[in-house]
């Protein structure tokens, strides 16, 4: 359910794009991101870092798209989000706990070196996904890019999460 909540601005963007085009979809994505972060705040009384990064970048790059009528700004937004997240993940390597460990260690117990490996793999995943996004943005139509943004990026993320889960099962430390 959380994954659906995290992707609902992208889903709204996709639906509005199909009926009204890139500029209406961009405006809806900005509104949906504000709504998403507001609902999260009301429920948890805190902000989630990935939603905050996304909101800031959608306002800046989506706003630039709407003001300039240049679709490249909105097409760069996913890459900017992925690369900022990659930076956050890689810098967390130098703290006491990595980002991935802070997010999951209440649910699963793994050795510290495995947390670091998982964290770096997320960093690499985000860098590569950003590169692929730019490739699609510059080499395919806007409609193809929108389809990639929803199905390609979401599908890749789901597959990556599954691979991570399978990898983690080899190293789970029992509480007993």
What is the mean predicted confidence (pLDDT) over 62-75?
98
Classify residue 59 by its DSSP letter.
I
Q: Is 33 part of any domain?
A: yes
CA 27 to chain CA centroid, nearest Å: 19
Report d(CA 10, CA 118) in Å as an integer.
26
Contact 152, 129 (CB under 8 A): no
Question: Once rounded to an integer, what is the mean pLDDT over residues 148-153?
Answer: 94
User: Is residue 176 in some structural domain?
Assistant: no
Domain count for the chain, please give it: 1
Q: Which of 49-53, 57-61, 129-133, 160-164 has the lowest mean pLDDT?
A: 49-53
Q: Give the whole-angstrom CA distance, residue 103 versus residue 100.
A: 5
Structure tokens at 92: 């967390």
At 74-130, the pLDDT tens digits run: 999 999 999 999 999 999 999 999 999 998 888 888 999 999 999 999 999 999 999
Average of per-residue pLDDT values in the chain = 93
Q: pTM here?
A: 0.90
On whether residue 88 sits in a domain, the answer given is yes
How long a stretch of residues is the chain?
176
Checking if the pLDDT of 176 tops 60, the result is no
Is residue 152 one of the residues assigned to a domain? yes
- Domain for residue 128, yes or no? yes
Query: Does residue 175 belong to any structural domain of this protein?
Result: no
d(CA 147, CA 92): 32
In a domain, residue 34? The reply is yes
Cα torsion 96, 98, 103, 104: sign: negative
Contacts of 24 (CB under 8 A, 6+ apart): 16, 17
With respect to residue 67, please indicate whether it lies within any of the assigned structural domains.
Answer: yes
- State the CB neighbour count (10 A cutoff) for residue 17: 23
pLDDT greater than 80 at residue 175 = no
pLDDT in tens, 10-20: 999 999 999 99
In which domain, by residue range, is 47 found? 2-169
Question: Range with the lowest mean pLDDT among 37-41, 129-133, 171-175?
Answer: 171-175
How many Cα neighbours within 13 Å face the side chain of 163? 10
Contact between 82 and 130 (Cβ < 8 Å) = yes
In the chain, the largest separation of any two C-alpha atoms, in whole Å, equals 60
Q: Are the C-beta atoms of 13 and 32 separated by less than 8 Å?
A: yes
For residue 163, is pLDDT > 70?
yes
Instruction: Please say whether the beta carbons of 78 and 130 come within 8 A.
Output: yes
For a pLDDT cut of 70, what percent of the chain falls above it? Answer: 95
């Amino acid at each position: 359910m959380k994954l659906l909540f995290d992707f609902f601005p992208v889903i709204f963007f996709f639906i509005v794009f199909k009926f009204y085009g890139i500029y209406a979809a961009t405006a809806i994505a900005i509104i949906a991101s504000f709504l998403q972060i507001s609902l999260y705040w009301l429920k948890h009384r805190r902000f989630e870092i990935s939603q905050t990064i996304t909101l800031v970048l959608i306002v800046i790059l989506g706003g630039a798209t709407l003001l300039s009528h240049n679709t490249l700004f909105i097409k760069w937004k996913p890459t900017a989000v992925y690369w900022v997240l990659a930076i956050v993940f890689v810098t967390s390597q130098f703290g006491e706990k990595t980002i991935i460990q802070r997010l999951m260690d209440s649910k699963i117990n793994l050795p510290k070196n495995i947390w670091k490996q998982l964290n770096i793999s997320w960093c690499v995943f985000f860098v590569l996904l950003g590169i692929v996004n730019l490739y699609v943005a510059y080499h395919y139509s806007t409609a193809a890019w929108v389809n990639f943004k929803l199905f390609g990026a979401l599908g890749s993320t789901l597959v990556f999460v599954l691979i991570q889960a399978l990898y983690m099962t080899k190293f789970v430390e029992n509480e007993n």
